[in-house]
Chains A and B, each alone.
Chain A
């Protein structure tokens, strides 16, 4: 085999080109951050009835559409469990959430009781992640993250001067989700004299809550991407 005198120069050139290509190659993309929005109830399951006469399922769907639009505008991928007045089983809701490996799952509710926004994490006791978690208690491995998400939402809502209460409850859909998951229940906005200022289906009130939730999700995404 005969090597020409210019061979080393060719090798060096190729190596330099490969090095440059490696430097210019795009960095490994961060895992896609998806938010699951679950408008609770739907179809024959109407949920509660609000003071304005609106059914809870309709108020939840309206809130879901608002929040989805705000998150999409901020470049966040959103998956919803329903886009219309359709009945969706609680198991199906959890299946959708678990399939997309969501970075945050919010189940939206509305009520006539209490005031402000009620945040609920699962009441399951925190557990170590298991390779094959039980369906009804799959959220146990995520409870700690869910409580952290509740903290971020709490701060954002508080910053928007919306009253917040934080509790834990047993909800079949949430308890089966393998993502940081919360139920967000919007209650009426009340004045000093406990009189209702805005119903949970009031467009302006829903918009205020949605903006605060979207800001919290953006903050949550930033925290999730930090090493």
Chain B
């Protein structure tokens, strides 16, 4: 048998805890409203625009099968991966132009990411800080790329030579399409192998 005073105490404590819970809920709501009212959506920090710098783009030409360097001024981020992506984006923008001598649709949006990783031990034997660039292209770019040995080879070589011209420690380049390995770019150029930027650079400036 529970004594009567204990029953009264239990009821009083229950009522007190319910009241305290309600008060706490109300205080929480008030604090939330105060925070929302005090928050300002006005920008307080100006966005940082990367300074324009000179970048060397090694541009392909289908007419004479050449790779020739061109200097362009474009905003380049400090981060190496973002920098590589910006440079390749501008290169592919040139190829997307209607008057391009190496026409390839797609433009800058065709480069999804460029990852920079330590290069193979062979490359690091020559340069201890040698890097491997993994260029992730979109499947739309690969699907719309003109098919042919020359045009596909020129695209690959110009990407490799442009990376080397702007990021001298990039010694090796691999390609992915939508994050996956793919056999060829457009039925010809081998995308399963690692390309050496030194070889692409040696083709630079070549004309028959």
Interface residues in A, total, Cβ within 8 A: 29
Given A41-B187, A165-B64; A112-B146 close (CB under 8 Å):
yes
**Cβ contacts A96-115/B at 8 Å (1 or 0 each):** 00000000000001011111
Which listed segment binds B: A64-72, A76-84, A166-174? A166-174
Task: Please name all residues of chain B whose beta carbon is closer than 8 Å to the beta carbon of A112 when the two chains form the complex.
Answer: 146-148
Q: How far is the CA of A72 from the CA of B148 in the complex (A)?
A: 29
Please measure, in the bound complex, the distance between the C-alpha atom of A120 and the C-alpha atom of B203, giving whole angstroms: 13
Chain B residues with CB below 8 A from A48, complex form? 146-148, 186-187
A169 to chain B, nearest CB (A): 4
A185 to B149, CA, bound (A): 7
B188-205 with Cβ < 8 A to chain A:
188-190, 192-193, 195, 199, 203
CB nearest to B104 among chain A residues:
A113
- Given that A111-B149, A114-B151, A187-B150 are known contacts, is A165 also in contact with B65, CB under 8 Å in the complex? yes
Q: B151–A170 contact, CB under 8 A?
A: no
Quick one: which of B64, B186, B190, B206 contacts A171, CB cutoff 8 A? B190
Expressed in whole angstroms, the Cα–Cα distance for A115 and B101 within the complex equals 12
Give chain A residues whose Cβ lies under 8 Å from the Cβ of B79: none
CB <8 Å contact, A168 and B203 = yes
How far is B149's CA from A165's CA once the two chains are assembled, in angstroms?
A: 12
> Is the Cβ of A165 less than 8 Å from the Cβ of B208?
yes
Whether the pair B150, A172 counts as a contact (CB closer than 8 A) is: no
- Cα A112 to Cα B146 with chains together (Å): 8
In the assembled complex, A196 has its CB within 8 A of some CB on chain B = no
Query: Chain B contacts of A56 at CB under 8 A?
Result: 147, 187
CA distance A22 to B192 in the complex (A): 58
Residues of B within 8 A of A169 (CB): 149, 153, 189
Interface contact A47-B187, CB-CB below 8 Å: yes
Question: How far is B63's CA from A118's CA once the two chains are assembled, in angstroms?
Answer: 11
| Partner pick for A118 among B146, B150, B193, B199, CB 8 A cutoff | B150
Say whether, besides A114-B65, A171-B188, A164 and B150 are in contact (CB < 8 Å).
no
Name which residue of chain B comes closest to A45, CB basis: B187
Residues 40-78 of chain A: 1 if any B CB is under 8 Å from the residue's CB, otherwise 0? 010001111100000010000000000000000000000
Contact size range, B: 20 to 34
Number of A-B contacts (CB under 8 A): 78
Question: Which positions 142-183 of chain A face chain B at CB distance < 8 Å?
Answer: 164-172, 183
Distance A164 CA – B64 CA, assembled complex (angstroms): 9
A158 → B minimal CB distance (Å)? 10
Asked, given contacts A48-B186, A167-B153, whether A111 binds B147 with beta carbons under 8 Å apart, the answer is yes
Cβ–Cβ contact B187 & A123, under 8 A: no
Measured between beta carbons, the chain A residues less than 8 angstroms from B127 are none
| B153 neighbours in A (Cβ, 8 Å) | 120, 167, 169
Neighbour of A109 across the interface among B63, B64, B149, B203, CB < 8 A: B149
Q: How far apart are the CA atoms of A45 and B189 in the complex, in Å? A: 14
* Nearest-Cβ distance from residue A112 to partner chain B, whole angstroms: 7
Contact indicator B189/A115 (Cβ below 8 Å): no
**A113 & B148 in contact (Cβ 8 Å cutoff):** yes
Residues of chain A within 8 A (CB-CB) of B146 are 48, 111-113
Closest-by-CB residue of B relative to A168 is B203
B62 interfacial contact with A, CB 8 Å: yes
B interface residues (Cβ-Cβ under 8 A, vs A): 62-65, 146-151, 153, 186-190, 192-193, 195, 199, 203, 206, 208
Show 21 residue pairs from A and B whose CB-CB distance is below 8 angstroms, ordered by the A residue.
Answer: A48-B148, A48-B186, A109-B149, A109-B188, A111-B146, A111-B151, A113-B62, A113-B151, A114-B63, A114-B65, A114-B151, A118-B149, A120-B150, A165-B64, A165-B65, A167-B65, A167-B203, A169-B153, A170-B190, A170-B195, A185-B150
Interface residues of chain A, those whose CB is within 8 Å of chain B, are 41, 45-49, 56, 109, 111-115, 118, 120, 123, 164-172, 183, 185, 187, 194
